[in-house]
Chains A and B, each alone.
Chain A
Amino acid sequence: EAGVAQSPRYKIIEKRQSVAFWCNPISGHATLYWYQQILGQGPKLLIQFQNNGVVDDSQLPKDRFSAERLKGVDSTLKIQPAKLEDSAVYLCASNQGGNTIYFGEGSWLTVV
């Protein structure tokens, strides 16, 4: 069974530029999450989707971050404009309504 796929793995951008990350969850998983992991900290939930609807985006900085999951399968997380403090690993995860949440390899973002 294929795992959670994310791309790109690494991205370096200048502040005020934009960036987009893509995630393809495990086939059949209705719930999709985006987490932000800043160096030295635990992952923090940004947004949770159930199919193509948003369940929780209370921690998403909506002035610069946006996310969508149009067809209830893959998802895109966008940052525009990026700030230095957005440097982090962006982890996508999925769940089928069971007890285990599966994570992708992450997308490493460096804002310079």
Chain B
Amino acid sequence: AQSVTQLDSQVPVFEEAPVELRCNYSSSVSVYLFWYVQYPNQGLQLLLKYLSGSTLVKGINGFEAEFNKSQTSFHLRKPSVHISDTAEYFCAVRGNDYKLSFGAGTTVTVRA
């Protein structure tokens, strides 16, 4: 079985500052890793995914994540955030069963 731990429940950040959201996973098999974003009163939108290959993955809206197998981590980063990045961010892991297991989420609040 797979599981995900998001290490930060809330991350306040000033506009144009960088942000990093931490995610650690555990799995006994090969994994596929995802970051989803949820804006207020909306569903989940895929930001990026790691399937194989390059460990640095670029996604939408300027986000990127780095897969680190030795540290079982998949941290999400953005070099400069905007007010519109205020949202809930979820890290998720999927095994060969096509089922996603989500972390508890990280609330990002961007302030001017």
A residues apposed to B, CB below 8 Å: 4, 31, 33, 40-45, 48, 56, 91, 93, 95, 97, 99-106, 108
B44 touches A43 (CB 8 A): yes
> For chains A and B in complex, what number of residue pairs have CB atoms within 8 angstroms?
53
How many residues from B make CB contacts under 8 Å with A? 24
Which residues of B does A touch, CB under 8 Å? 4, 6, 32, 36, 41-46, 49, 51, 90, 92, 94, 97-105
Q: In the bound complex, do residue A42 and residue B90 qualify as a contact, i.e. CB atoms below 8 Å apart? A: yes
B46: chain A residues within 8 A (beta carbon): 100, 102
The answer for the CA separation of A91 and B44 in the assembled complex, in Å, is 9
| CB pair A103 B99 closer than 8 Å | no
Q: Judging by beta carbons under 8 Å apart, are A45 and B100 in contact?
A: yes
Question: A45 to B102, alpha carbons, bound, how many Å?
Answer: 9
Q: Which B residues touch A102, using CB under 8 A?
A: 46
Smallest distance from the beta carbon of B95 to chain A beta carbons, Å?
12
Please state if B104 and A42 are interface contacts (CB–CB under 8 Å): yes
Q: In the complex, which of the residues B4, B43, B51 contacts A104, with contact meaning CB atoms closer than 8 Å?
A: B43
Check A105/B42 contact, CB under 8 A, given A41-B105, A42-B105: yes
Whether the pair A101, B105 counts as a contact (CB closer than 8 A) is no
For the complex, give the distance between the alpha carbons of A40 and B45 in Å. 17
Known A42-B102, A103-B44; further 16 A-B contacts with Cβ < 8 A: A31-B98, A33-B99, A42-B4, A42-B6, A42-B90, A42-B104, A43-B90, A43-B100, A43-B102, A56-B97, A93-B44, A100-B46, A100-B49, A103-B45, A104-B43, A106-B43
